[in-house]
Chain A
C-alpha cells in the first residue's frame, strides 16, 4: 500500500482540512442556534460557551489551512503546464481539458471551487470573532445573531461546493507524482 507525496498532500488538503471542516459545520450551526436564539436557549455553563469559542477558532484554522494548502501546495501541481506532447496523467487540468466528457470539471468545477472556497474562511473567521466578543450576549442582538448564523451557513455552503468539486475532480484527474511513500507492505493472499 503506497501513496505519492502529491497524493498525500491532496488528501491532507481535502480529507484532512476540508472534510473535517464540513463535518464541524453542522455542530457549529447547532451550537450557535442553541446558545444564541431565545427560542432554543437552554442553560449553559461558561465552560460550554468557552468550548464553542475554541470550536469556532479550530474551524477557522481548518478553513484557512484548507484554502492555503489548496492554493499554494496542490493547485500548482494541478495547473502545471505539460512540456509538449507527454502523458497528461501528471497534468490534471490539461487532462480534464483534453476531453469533452471531462472539460466541465475544470471549466465549471475548478473555476468555481478555486474562488468560492475562500468565502468559507472569511465567513467563519468573522463568526468566530463575533462569538468570542459577544458570547451569549448575542441573545440580545437579534439582527446580529441572524447575520452570524447566516454567514456560518454560507461558509458551510461554500465549503460544500468546494468539497464536492474537489472530490469529483480528483476522481476524474487525480493529482499524482512526487516520491512514493510506502504505507504498508502487502501480504500475500
Chain B
C-alpha cells in the first residue's frame, strides 16, 4: 500500500482538530495552574502547608505535582470531549497562549510580588 503524501493529497484533513485542540489548551491550563498555585502558596499559610509534599524540595514539590495532575486531568477530559470533533481552534489556541503568557508573567517575581 502506498503512503499518501499530505503535501500532494487533496486538502482534506484525515484527522479532526479536536485531539490537537485538547492537547494545546490543556498545556495552557497546566502552565497557568502552576503559576496560580505558586502564587497561592506564597500568599496563603494553609495552602503553603498543604503543598509541602516533600520537605527537602519544599513548596515546589506540591506546586509542580498538583499542576501536572491538573494538566493531565484537563487533557484527559478535553480529549474525551473533543477526541472526534472539529472545534473552533483559533479561539482555543488564543486562550491557551493567553494562559501561557500569563503563566510567564505571574511566575516573574516582580509581578508576583505585586499581587
A in complex with B: yes
Task: Name the contact of B15 in the complex, choosing from A46, A134, A148 (C-beta under 8 A).
Answer: A134
Asked if B109 and A141 sit within 8 Å, CB to CB, the answer is no
Given contacts A133-B15, A137-B13, contact A115 B57 (CB under 8 A): no
Q: Which residues of B contact A111 (CB under 8 A)?
A: 109, 112
Asked if B56 and A76 sit within 8 Å, CB to CB, the answer is yes
Q: Is the interface of A mostly helix, strand, loop or mixed?
A: helix
Instruction: Find residues 92-106 in chain A having any chain B CB closer than 8 Å to their own CB.
Output: none
Given contacts A71-B57, A119-B104, A134-B20, contact A144 B89 (CB under 8 A): yes
Q: Which residues of B contact A144 (CB under 8 A)?
A: 17, 20-21, 24, 89, 93
The contact sample of 8 A-B pairs, CB cut-off 8 A, is A71-B60, A72-B61, A111-B109, A129-B23, A139-B7, A140-B12, A141-B20, A148-B24
Q: Which residues of A contact B51 (CB under 8 A)?
A: none
Q: Which residues of B contact A118 (CB under 8 A)?
A: 31, 34, 64, 67
Q: B3 at the A/B interface (Cβ < 8 Å)?
A: yes
Asked if B31 and A119 sit within 8 Å, CB to CB, the answer is yes
Nearest CB of B to A77, in Å? 9
Which residues of A does B touch, CB under 8 Å?
38, 41, 43, 46, 67, 71-72, 75-76, 79-80, 107-108, 111-112, 114-116, 118-119, 122-123, 125-126, 129-130, 133-137, 139-141, 143-144, 146-148, 150-151, 154, 157-158
Q: Which residues of B contact A67 (CB under 8 A)?
A: 64
Task: Please tell me the size bucket of the interface on B.
Answer: 35 or more
Complex CA–CA separation, A100 to B19 (angstroms): 50
Complex CA–CA separation, A76 to B54 (angstroms): 10
Q: Which residues of B contact A38 (CB under 8 A)?
A: 7
CB-based nearest B residue for A68: B64
Please report the number of residue pairs spanning A and B whose Cβ atoms sit closer than 8 angstroms.
119
Asked if A122 and B17 sit within 8 Å, CB to CB, the answer is no
Asked if B110 and A108 sit within 8 Å, CB to CB, the answer is yes
Task: Name the contact of B31 in the complex, choosing from A46, A123, A130, A147 (C-beta under 8 A).
Answer: A123
Pick the most buried of A46, A133, A148, A151: most chain B CB atoms within 10 A of its CB: A151
Q: Which residues of A contact B109 (CB under 8 A)?
A: 107-108, 111-112
Asked if B57 and A122 sit within 8 Å, CB to CB, the answer is no
Q: Which residues of B contact A147 (CB under 8 A)?
A: 20, 24, 89, 93, 96-97
Given contacts A71-B64, A118-B64, contact A126 B110 (CB under 8 A): no
